[in-house]
Amino acid sequence: MITDAELHKSMCTQYVQKNDRLFYLKGTRIGRKTVSVVREQYLRTDICCHSPLCKRCDHSFSNNFLSKDAIQYIIPTADLLDKYFEVFNQPGIEGIIVLQTVAAAVKTKSGYKAHNKLKDLLKDDRRGSVYFSNELYRETFVDRNTAKSKDTWIKRLILTAYKWFQEHLESFKLILLIDDHDSVEEWQCTCKEIFYTRSLNVMHFHEYLTCFHSSLIPNYDSLKSSLEKEQSGGEALYSIHLSEDDIKLGINQGIYVSGILNVNKRRAADTAFIKLHQNQGSVLPPDSKILIKGAINRNRAIHGDTVAVRLFSQSEWEQKRDNEGLVPTGEVVGVVDRPSREYVAVFPEFGGGANTNRAEKVLVVPFDIRIPKIRISTHLADELRNHRILVSVDQWDKESQYPSGHFISTLGPVGHIETETKTILLGYALLSLPFSKAQLAELPNQDWQVCPEEVSKRRDLRQSHLIYSVDPVGCEDIDDALSIRKKKNGNFELGIHIADVSYFVKPGSLVDKEALSRATTVYLADRRYDMLPSVLSSNVCSLWSEVDRYAVSVLCELDQDCNLLKVWYGRTVIRSAYKLTYEVAQAIADGCNTDTITNEIKELQNVDHVKVKERLVELRESVCHLMHVARKLHKKRQLAGALELEGTEVKIMIRNTGEDVTVEEILPKQPLEIHETIAECMIYANYLVAKKIYEVFPSCSLLRCHPLPTSDRFEQLLSCASAKGLRIDTSSNKTLSQSLENYEKDCRDTDLLKVLRRLSVYAMKNALYFSTGSLSTEQEFYHYGLALDFYTHFTSPIRRYADLMVHRMLLSAVGDTYESFTFGPDTVEQACRHINEKNLASKFAQTDSSELFQAMYFMNLEHEMKTTMDVLVTEIRDNGLTVFTPKYGLQGMLYLRDKDGKVAQPQPGQQDVSIAFGEGDLECHKDHVIVTYKGGRYQIYLLDHLLVKVDVDMPRAHKPSFVFSLLKCSPLKLYEVLQLKESQVDRKDPPVDTENSMQLVLGGYQQSAANVEYSQSPVQNSLYWLVTKLRAMSLKPSPR
């Protein structure tokens, strides 16, 4: 924790402490032999106290300081800090002086994981806590020979450092904190032996918390109770875990295998899998999955643990569901590593009256259904009964059914939007503290402007290029802008201009380290959490219009068939002319009414009418050129096998009054050609940059691959397609793309096509960042979805750390970098693994946030028509069907058999009108189900349309889920689906303002004057309504 600068500066002020010791060696040929060992300890005289109150020390090399707002400084002992670190880590406790002696003792006792957590606390300047190298400082050094035992020596070191701080800071209050089991009298006696005085302000930790941080008493009591080993005396429920040495030996000999435990969400109580990362000398191939059946075989392992597993004999392996092969099974014999995790949980809904003066044992229920209940000790159970709380697991004894843990903090009342948002973020380890003062101090001011000296080093595009950005409505973190020029020879010069974040965020800076830690901006349904401070993400780096900004540009010349002729990479200075939204850019390309468009482009406000027309003509020509080039580029990729994979994207319209949050509407996002245009330009830039950095750095380039899916991942897609008589060739991305494209040409059921594309996405593996030095062949670099040999992410450095790393690599590759930046294969690969984890977590958090607000929407709906919808069957389950609604992108269970074994059937005499559960039988086949009941039977196939009602299951402890109820036993015909959609069209005319402006609402057109006149309208009796009605009638079978 001492910087090189501090060390070099102190070379002239070092003292050498020599330590002679005699060792007697036995077993030598000449008998006993005495060896003298001399150890030299270099002592310094310039280590500062880190206190902002001190005027005597030189703080010029200090990275952090003690809190200036603290009313006292505290020095904890090693045992105390090790046992109660999580209490010290709570906000509020400031001014902690961690001695070198204490930190070393914590590392020795609890390992690197505890030591790293301590380092993280000290790095956070918001905590006002420091590390003091007392064993390297001449005034606080204590010779090891002066103490008989190591414990006595450590105690002398702590007391010596305490007395030095006490005298150095004079009147400022200093407290020595000790564990409650330690004796104050004993510490004071030791102090008197050394310094001939009992002048020692020593306190037990509980007393200190009571006096200064009473709100943390519950944390202390819960953790203390968890650390005290219970004397159960009962029978062992689980097997003993093997030691670390036994596990390593067993893995090396092929007796055991190791992997990460992944608990099944649907059957969390009894089903989990271990995925092997490598062969490890076992009989199983790499990437195999081992089934862990039942809690006993799981043997106290928790979801996310790295475990060692003993495989059962093949006679005990389980048959796969399709009877095509066996699933290996086994049991956990030891936990190799358990990540330090905090879990969101709730108290039981009903409990006995707790004695608030005494802690009681309570089983709390984690939010994540894959985590077992956790036993904690607290006296807050009644007070926080309806709150979500944060807990941690400490141990799991073999005699106990549940793990033991402790209470950390409360998040807030269950159901409050802030509480639920924190729950989502904490569940994926994405909750970050605000940026610190030290981090913000590295950044420019809000009124930053370009520097003439810096501009002279860059290519100036401000006058030569028409540059503009195209983004969603309300976007503030504008990463990219585009330009295109048609040359006299017919060639195009395409420019992709990306914010130069690397200029402001230097490698190894505090902001850089924080950005790497976050790895990505997290977008939720109602907010975002930036990777970079807002001064960068929303201002200085963001490519706003009509201001000068630094960029890293890719300028490529393309011929008329969009073949690449030449490309230039480098730092530029640009001035974006327009900040367009997708809808406005599309309207410009479509040639919409000039006045309507002008009102939506702020850069054209207060501009002469004649000049407005000229500028719009110029802008439209540029946008049309972009679209033309993007079509050609896309066609090239499509011919190479690029996939058209789409999901159902919806925009959630939220009204936040400050006191209450309501979801007003859920709207499907309108696909526009301009979306594909911008995406295609970004893909092309990423491809070119990937080739360039790999050319220069073949062993350590950061690229992005999309691994080929295995054939078994397409089973669900093929089963669904087969049920409808469709043939899909999944042998390659090109054949898959052609199959879907051929079906699209003759497709009358657009919803079915959406589901097929969605199932294709499900079959894919996740795209991953990787270091080129970590893969053996270039074939592994391939991006399956985009059909590109090389790919990376370069175009969003404001919100993705991978892009920032790629910027540094590109600038180093073209010799346009100002600072020396070295990166090796291991460093890049380590960063890639971290970024991949954060990206996946961010994706899951975004999905959970969207589902939370969708659940709120459907729970508050009063109109029954809106909860009645058409769904498609995507999977056959043991007790029903998995269904998907294309309109809202929701997926959930449709139960055909309830817990009592009764099946869904129409009530007698009310066929397809009223559904109830009664006696009957459910047969599940690969592509259909048959329900037989007294009086009839019905069949439902994969990809059938069904009429259902959606309900929300909002459990108190867990995340919401959508449950569908069958309203009609027979599948819907296509004409019935169209009629249902028509009946659900909102009959109210959309608002049109008095100035006939184009009303753009969060990603889609609302009706404007131009839209009402020229576009397809959903209003009844319109031409569009009539055509839709005629189409439905044509599909309806004629009566016999």
Q: What is the pLDDT of residue 334?
A: 94
Strand locations in 669-732, DSSP E? 702-705
Q: What is the mean pLDDT of residues 199-208?
A: 87
CA distances 902 to 54, 879, 914, 918, 931, Å, are 78, 10, 16, 5, 11
pLDDT digits (tens, 9 = 90+) for 371-409: 999 999 888 888 899 999 999 999 999 989 999 999 999
Q: Note the residue count of the chain.
A: 1040
Q: Rounded CA gap, 961 and 953, in Å?
A: 5
Report the candidate in 99, 46, 53 with the shortest Cα–Cα distance to residue 76.
99
Percent of the chain with pLDDT over 90: 44
pLDDT above 90: residue 276: no
Coil/strand/helix, residue 316:
helix
Q: What is the pLDDT of residue 442?
A: 92
Q: Name which residue leads in pLDDT, 309 or 324.
A: 309
CA angle 612, 1007, 995 (to 5 degrees): 45
pLDDT digits (tens, 9 = 90+) for 791-805: 999 999 999 999 999
Q: Rounded CA gap, 878 and 897, in Å?
A: 9
Q: Rounded CA gap, 76 and 53, in Å?
A: 21
Q: Name which residue leads in pLDDT, 893 or 745.
A: 893
The answer to whether the CB of 388 falls within 8 A of the CB of 369 is: no
Q: Rounded CA gap, 621 and 583, in Å?
A: 17
Residue reference for tokens 């709730």: 346
Q: Rounded CA gap, 655 and 653, in Å?
A: 7
Residue reference for tokens 């909102």: 986
Q: Rounded CA gap, 530 and 17, in Å?
A: 50
Q: Which two tokens stand for residue 846?
A: 């975004």
Q: Rounded CA gap, 825 and 831, in Å?
A: 10
Q: What is the pLDDT of residue 146?
A: 79
Three-state SS letters, 941-963: ECCCEEEEEEEEECCCCCCCEEE
Q: What is the pLDDT of residue 456?
A: 94
Which residues are 705's β-sheet partners? 768
Q: What is the mean pLDDT of residues 273-295?
A: 77
Percent of the chain with pLDDT over 70: 85
% helix, strand, coil for the chain, step of 5: 35, 25, 40
Q: What is the pLDDT of residue 75?
A: 93
pLDDT above 60: residue 1036: no
Among the residues of 255-326, which ranges form H helices?
Answer: 295-298
pLDDT digits (tens, 9 = 90+) for 496-534: 999 999 999 999 899 999 999 999 999 998 889 999 999
Q: Rounded CA gap, 5 and 47, in Å?
A: 12
Q: Rounded CA gap, 92 and 73, in Å?
A: 13
Contacts (Cβ under 8 Å, ≥6 apart) of 877: 893, 924
Coil/strand/helix, residue 899:
coil
Q: What is the mean pLDDT of residues 965-978?
A: 84
Q: Rounded CA gap, 957 and 347, in Å?
A: 9
Q: What is the pLDDT of residue 230?
A: 53
Q: Are strands 256-263 and 202-204 parallel, antiparallel or unpaired?
A: unpaired
pLDDT digits (tens, 9 = 90+) for 56-81: 888 777 777 888 888 889 999 999 99
Coil/strand/helix, residue 652:
strand
Q: If pLDDT is split at 50, 70 and 90, which confidence band does 1024 have?
A: very low
Q: Name which residue leads in pLDDT, 567 or 193.
A: 567
Q: Are strands 702-705 and 768-771 parallel, antiparallel or unpaired?
A: antiparallel
Lowest mean pLDDT among 3-12, 150-159, 188-197, 910-919: 3-12
Q: What is the pLDDT of residue 667?
A: 81
Taking the mean position of all CA atoms in its chain, how far away is CA 299?
A: 29
Report the candidate in 43, 44, 39 with the shortest Cα–Cα distance to residue 18.
39
Alpha-carbon dihedral of residues 96, 99, 102, 108, nearest 10 degrees? 120
pLDDT above 60: residue 627: yes
Q: If pLDDT is split at 50, 70 and 90, which confidence band does 994 have?
A: very low
Q: Rounded CA gap, 90 and 732, in Å?
A: 53
The answer to whether the CB of 492 falls within 8 A of the CB of 629 is: yes
Q: Rounded CA gap, 648 and 755, in Å?
A: 9
Contacts (Cβ under 8 Å, ≥6 apart) of 160: 134, 140, 141, 142, 194
DSSP 559-588: -TT--EEEEEEEEEEEEBSEEEEHHHHHHH
Q: Are strands 130-132 and 97-99 parallel, antiparallel or unpaired?
A: parallel
Lowest mean pLDDT among 211-220, 224-233, 405-414, 553-562: 224-233
Q: Rounded CA gap, 220 and 209, in Å?
A: 9
What value does the mean pLDDT of the chain take? Answer: 84
pLDDT above 50: residue 6: no
Q: What is the pTM of this model?
A: 0.84
Q: What is the pLDDT of residue 14?
A: 53
pLDDT digits (tens, 9 = 90+) for 737-774: 888 888 887 778 888 888 898 899 888 889 999 999 88
For 203, phi then psi, to 5°, come to: -135, 145
Q: If pLDDT is split at 50, 70 and 90, which confidence band does 30 have?
A: low
For 391, phi then psi, to 5°, come to: -130, 165
CA distances 242 to 235, 417, 583, Å, are 19, 44, 62
Coil/strand/helix, residue 50:
coil
Contacts (Cβ under 8 Å, ≥6 apart) of 814: 569, 570, 692
Q: What is the pLDDT of residue 112?
A: 82
CA distances 706 to 646, 709, 715, 789, 836, Å, are 16, 9, 19, 10, 12
Contacts (Cβ under 8 Å, ≥6 apart) of 915: 904, 905, 906, 907, 965, 966, 967, 968, 969
Q: What is the pLDDT of residue 821?
A: 64
Output DSSP code: residue 819. S
pLDDT digits (tens, 9 = 90+) for 163-181: 899 888 887 889 999 988 8
Output DSSP code: residue 198. -
H or E segment to which residue 36 belongs? strand 31-44
CA distances 626 to 216, 623, 630, 682, Å, are 60, 5, 6, 12
The answer to whether the CB of 203 falls within 8 A of the CB of 178 is: yes
CB count in 10 Å sphere of residue 267:
10
Report the candidate in 724, 711, 732 with the shortest Cα–Cα distance to residue 324.
711
CA angle 344, 349, 352 (to 5 degrees): 120
pLDDT digits (tens, 9 = 90+) for 775-830: 888 899 999 999 999 999 999 999 999 999 999 999 999 988 776 667 788 899 99
Strand locations in 45-87, DSSP E? 73-76
Report the candidate in 349, 421, 382, 75 with the shortest Cα–Cα distance to residue 218.
382
Lowest mean pLDDT among 759-773, 945-959, 997-1011: 997-1011
Lowest mean pLDDT among 87-91, 533-537, 694-698, 836-840: 87-91
Q: If pLDDT is split at 50, 70 and 90, which confidence band does 426 have?
A: very high
Contacts 24+ apart (CB under 8 A), 411-417: 411/344, 411/387, 412/387, 412/388, 413/386, 413/387, 413/388, 414/346, 414/386, 414/387, 414/388, 414/956, 417/526, 417/661
Between the ranges 59-68, 705-714, 717-726, 831-840, where is the mean pLDDT highest? 831-840
Q: Which two tokens stand for residue 482?
A: 């585009």
Q: What is the mean pLDDT of residues 13-18?
A: 58
H or E segment to which residue 202 belongs? strand 202-204
CA distances 1021 to 1015, 1018, 1025, 1026, Å, are 14, 9, 6, 6
Signed CA dihedral, 1020, 1022, 1028, 1033: sign only: positive
Between the ranges 6-10, 462-466, 854-858, 958-962, where is the mean pLDDT highest? 462-466
CA distances 163 to 46, 79, 208, 628, Å, are 18, 20, 20, 77
H or E segment to which residue 690 belongs? helix 673-696
Q: Rounded CA gap, 440 and 562, in Å?
A: 44
The answer to whether the CB of 993 falls within 8 A of the CB of 947 is: no
Lowest mean pLDDT among 448-457, 487-496, 856-865: 856-865
